[in-house]
Amino acid sequence: MFRARLKFAFRALLKNKTYSLLNIVGLALGLSVSLIIFLYLNSEFGFDKHVPNHETIYRVEGEFKINNEIEQFAGSSRALAPLLAKEYDYIDDYTRLYHIDVNVRFKSKNKSHYEEDIAIADNNFFEVFEIPMLKGDRKTCLKEPQSLVVTQHFAQRYFGETNPVGKQVSTSNHTYTVTGLIANWPSNSHHKFDAVLSAFNDTLDLQEQLNSLWQVNVFTFLKLPSSDQADRLVADFPGFYDKYMRPMGESFGGHFQIQLSELSEIHFGRSLQYDRKGGDKSYLYAFAAISLIVLILAGINFVNMATARGMKRVKEAGLRKVLGANKAEIRWLVFLESFLLSFASLFMAFVLVELVLELTPFNEVLQKDLSLSHINTGLLAGVALLLTSSVSVLSAWYPAFSLSKVPGLSAIRGGYQLGKRSVRMRRILVGFQFCISVAVVITALGMYRQMNYVSNKDLGFNKEDILLVSVEDSVTASRIPKIQEQLANSPYVMASSTSFSVPGRGLGRSVFSLESEVGGLFEQKVIDNMQVSLGYCTTMEMEVVEGRDFKRKDNLSEEKAVLVNQKMVEEQGWEQPIGKRIRWGFDESGEEMFYGTVVGVVANFNAHSLHESIKPTVLFLKDNQLGTFHIRVDSEHLKKALVSIEKVWAKHNPENSFQFSFLNKTLANLYQEEQRQSQLILYLTYMAIFISFLGLTGLASFTTGLRTREIGIRKVLGADVFQMVNLIFKEMFTLIVLSILLALPLAYLLIKAWLSGFAFSASLNPLIFAFSALVAALLAYLIISYHSLKVARNKPVDTLKYE
Amino acid sequence: MIQLHHLSKIYKSDTVETHALKEISLQVEEGEFVSIMGPSGCGKTTLLNIIGLLDNFNRGLYIFDSKEVKELAERESEKIRKDNIGFVFQNFNLLDELTVYENIELPLIYLGVKSSERKLRVTEILERISLGHRSGHFPYQLSGGQQQKVAIGRAIVAKPRLILADEPTGNLDSEQGSEIMEMLTALNESGTTIIMVTHSISDAAYSSRLVKLMDGHLVSEKSFLHV
Ligand SMILES: Nc1ncnc2c1ncn2[C@@H]1O[C@H](COP(=O)(O)OP(=O)(O)O)[C@@H](O)[C@H]1O
Ligand SMILES: [Mg+2]
């Protein structure tokens, strides 16, 4: 009996090949989107959960309070962990990690690459992070100085498939021995690297350690037996503060407290300064919702197809009844068909997902490593089965029950109509589909516009063609002037300057006393500040709008020269900014140590990401300083510029390898998350367009199908083709206009919500809305015309026969 | 008005070719009332559809009002149809969602007649088919005879020169049937050319000429003499 049923179901499907196929593909797309987003969410929600015993690893985060302003940092002082461990014996272990976020050139034999993801860690790192070691011993691999543990990725680049352990790689001034091989960090790791160096020999004496407790320079991880101990440590910490940090804190009115975050909660935790790129859970929920919507859109086509086929099969159902089938039998048949179709879709969906993940740059674009094989098979099968069976049951429900109610005889005689209700429901569903698709398209356009805006906005400086080289020791710093002198001879280097901070990487924030407009009175405020050397404004192509830029003579003057930005002038209400006085820095007695005078005003510039508004900022002059050396190169000759800079560098600073990063890339990284989201939305847009195209096509051919005879009669009576196309379009016109009208506010709300994360955003261009609405209506008209034309063009005899 | 010379029609499907019409030659003059008879499947409907420019043919010549039909573009044949020909079908082919009034009005709309004029003409037709009191009804609320009257009304509202009727009484009882035949005869007397397919000898007796088809061939023609 079952075999007979299966045979009937198969035949019914084959009879309607193209339409069946289109809908299988449509549903398969919907299912693939859901599967991919499921993989994505599974990966995101599993952040760092792959690290064994992740629930016992806690990151120490710092909370500095200065003049009642709280600044939270993801990192902490490298002196903190050893002292903490000495003080509290319930801390099982600690390890520290430092990410070198610049390009370092590594060489091995004839292979050489710039590495941008290198870290330095304590020698017990792999005993705290017990991730699988493929080669080498986790206890000893980082014990020796100049040891290097590499990922497969890194090993592949230098050594191909051979065992890297024991091999050597070198930078321009050190040679490292590879002592271990680990798997690549999964993309859902908050702290990851391509290779890690052994380091941190704590040579500081106690006083130096105490002084450095107020700094933020490494990430500290503690191993604690349980979350109770974590709470206990946070509660105990004020004792530590009193003992080691209070005297210094009191000297400048500061306070410090730690917070602990469990490893797997870091990524979606609080947003902290100096953190790795974090995630936002609300976006994950949004993605889940979107995938559900895409599935519903695809499901709607499926439901509609089932209903349309049901309507065509009234006669068949009646006949079966007369021949002895009961209601249950007919329902069975419809459900079975629906299951067959949706499982065909599911199969195709798996193939599609595999193709997308393995053959397209999808993973690269999203910086993920999604794969069907990474995931628990039972869970995947469960989700897939659940999705598929709900779609097939839902879609078969209406036709199954209404067909089983068809009265036998009257159906055969003809004239029995399967409810007008199903036609109306169908229209509403397709309208919903269309509405969502239009909204998604507009939203994607809006997001695209914003990402474009973000990468093209005038930031108040020119972010292109700037190389950043970090200057971490005073010896290098002292050599910079000489290097600058040499670089001035290169035709490919336009300008250079050193600044302590880099736009987008966070500025210094400290307390300043600012003169008021009236004069004489000083007011204390926490202000963003940058220490820059001569030529900074020129190098960055920042504009001095009032007064003047720094001069060489400013280095010598008693009162320091400072520049402020326009925002500062505005906020202070300075009518006459030039000559206003500023004091900062506190000595032991709380007196200001430095006095400055405003010599110029620079045009506002975005020193932070565009998520944040522009804040009052002070620039002061400091030559020969640590920080980041900025070099503006000729964009036409980047390669040559790099060669000549590296040559100069090697000659004048041979102990330190030349390491650099690009300013524009640094800034682009600030919007990685949004970039990713807009990419995902773009993919979904294609999907939504395709699916609603299917839906409209289905509805149009269904509607014209129902009216074929009518079209024939009208034609015989003299209607021309255009009149008939309009006839069908009129029927769907209200539907289309209504769904577009609903889509507009929906899209508006979506874009607004997304843009609220930016302090600077592209204006919402109403043209995008008008244009999308128009294109959508036009496309709908074309689809409908196509289908009605097909019927209207037929010879009238053919259509008249149709019944 | 109508000249067919050696006209043939072949239906091709995947497996079989059906020669529906074979070498048909026929002339119909303005003002004639021609009946076509023959067994089921002999090609009567096919012939009528070709004459009405609803279908094309494979070989031969068809001249309508001295225009060669085969040469006409789609638009031109549509225009000839709209201006000259009215159709009456065995199964009425009324539009279910339009009222009697609207069904009759439809050809005038497609001809672009002004609405005031349309009203006049539809009312006149409704009177002629004596269904004035039913003008707001929908087709399914009418008897078969009444539906066919509406169909005839719709066929003549645009004052066509030629009416093609395919078994107009096929679905009606004899009383309703003769009413319809009376109407057609009256139309013919006022100058309209009529070509009608029928199975009924008594219906054929209303016409001025009888054409017999057999298996796609035209087998005989004879004229009735009216007294
Ligand atoms: N669309 C078609 N396709 C194939 N064969 C057809 C088609 N229409 C009619 N025929 C065939 O052509 C022949 C004549 O049909 P028709 O003109 O409808 O006959 P009648 O009206 O005299 O009963 C029949 O054999 C019929 O099967
Ligand atoms: Mg026939």
DSSP-derived pairing of the beta strands B33-37 and B209-214? parallel
The answer, yes or no, to whether residue A645 has pLDDT greater than 50, is: yes
| Interchain CB distance below 8 Å, A713 and B93 | yes
The answer, yes or no, to whether residue A546 has pLDDT greater than 90, is: yes
Average model confidence (pLDDT) across chain B = 89
Task: Summarize pLDDT for B90-101 with one digit per residue, the tens.
Answer: 888 888 778 999
Sequence-ordered alpha helix ranges (H) in A522-613: 536-540, 566-572
The answer, yes or no, to whether residue A205 has pLDDT greater than 50, is: yes
| Interchain CB distance below 8 Å, A714 and B56 | no
Is the CB of residue A767 less than 8 Å away from at least one CB of chain B? no
CA separation for the pair A248, A237 (Å, rounded): 16
Task: Summarize pLDDT for A659-702 with one digit per residue, the tens.
Answer: 888 999 888 888 887 887 788 788 888 888 888 888 888 878 77
Task: Select from A709, A718, A796 the Cβ nearest to the Cβ of B111.
Answer: A718
Q: Measuring CA to CA, how many Å separate A261 from each of A120, A265, B205?
A: 21, 6, 103
DSSP-derived pairing of the beta strands A147-151 and A175-182? parallel
146-205 in B: which are within 8 Å (CB) of A? 154, 158
SS3 string, A228-279, reads: HHHHHHHHHHHHHHHHHHHHHHHHCCEEEEEEEEEHHHHCCCCCCECCCCCC
CA separation for the pair B16, A548 (Å, rounded): 96
Are the C-beta atoms of A445 and A762 separated by less than 8 Å?
no
- A377: tokens are 């098979």
CA separation for the pair A115, A640 (Å, rounded): 20
Task: Summarize pLDDT for B130-188 with one digit per residue, the tens.
Answer: 888 999 998 888 888 899 889 999 998 989 999 999 988 888 888 888 888 998 999 99
- pLDDT over 90 percentage in chain B: 51
Ligand 1 atom nearest to B44, measured from its CA? 22
SS3 string, A216-236, reads: CCEEEEEECCCHHHHHHHHHH
Three-class secondary structure of residue A267 per DSSP:
coil
One-letter identity of residue A476: T
Task: Summarize pLDDT for A57-79 with one digit per residue, the tens.
Answer: 999 999 988 777 788 889 999 88
Confidence of residue A33 (pLDDT cuts 50, 70, 90): confident
- A144: tokens are 């020796």
Task: Check residue B175 and give its pLDDT.
Answer: 86
Minimal Cα distance from A798: which residue of B?
B55
Q: What length does chain B have?
A: 227
Structure ipTM: 0.81
Q: Comparing A297 with A235, which gets the higher pLDDT? A: A235
Cα-flanking dihedrals φ and ψ of residue A77, to 5°? Answer: -75, 145
Confidence of residue A650 (pLDDT cuts 50, 70, 90): confident
Confidence of residue A408 (pLDDT cuts 50, 70, 90): low
Confidence of residue A803 (pLDDT cuts 50, 70, 90): very low
- Residue among A505, A431, A439, A426 nearest A470 (CA): A505
The answer, yes or no, to whether residue A380 has pLDDT greater than 80, is: yes
- Residue among A17, A116, A773, A770 nearest A344 (CA): A17
Domains (range + CATH), chain B = 2-94+141-223 (3.40.50.300)
Task: Summarize pLDDT for B196-227 with one digit per residue, the tens.
Answer: 999 888 899 999 999 999 998 888 777 665 43
Task: Check residue A371 and give its pLDDT.
Answer: 85
The answer, yes or no, to whether residue A599 has pLDDT greater than 80, is: yes
Residues of B in contact with A801 (CB under 8 A): none
One-letter identity of residue B31: G
Q: Measuring CA to CA, how many Å separate A303 from each of A388, A428, A440, A618, A740?
A: 13, 12, 22, 64, 22
Cβ-Cβ contacts under 8 Å between A and B: the total is: 40
Three-class secondary structure of residue B78 per DSSP:
helix
CA separation for the pair A695, A711 (Å, rounded): 22
Ligand 1 atom nearest to B40, measured from its CA? 23
- A159: tokens are 């050594």
One-letter identity of residue A188: N
Number of C-alpha atoms within 13 angstroms, CB side, residue B1? 20
Confidence of residue A167 (pLDDT cuts 50, 70, 90): very high
Task: Check residue A202 and give its pLDDT.
Answer: 58
CA-CA-CA-CA torsion sign (A517, A521, A524, A528): positive
| Interchain CB distance below 8 Å, B81 and A716 | yes
CA separation for the pair A412, A314 (Å, rounded): 8
CA separation for the pair A615, A568 (Å, rounded): 7
Q: Ligand 1: which residues within 6 Å by Cβ?
A: B 11, 13, 18, 20, 38, 40-46
DSSP-derived pairing of the beta strands B193-197 and B162-166? parallel
* Distance from the A701 Cα atom to the nearest Cα atom in chain B, whole angstroms: 20
- A39: tokens are 């993989």
| Across A588-611, average pLDDT | 84
- Residue among A745, A766, A742 nearest A434 (CA): A742
- B56: tokens are 């094309």
Q: Measuring CA to CA, how many Å separate B132 from each of B105, B159, B168?
A: 13, 19, 21
| Interchain CB distance below 8 Å, A795 and B111 | no
Q: What number of other Cβ atoms are within 10 A of residue A700's Cβ? A: 23
Task: Check residue B92 and give its pLDDT.
Answer: 82
Give exposure, A524-548, as e/b (b: 16+ Cβ within 10 Å).
eebbbbbbbbbbbbbbbbbebebbe
For chain B, how many helices (H) and strands (E)? 7, 10
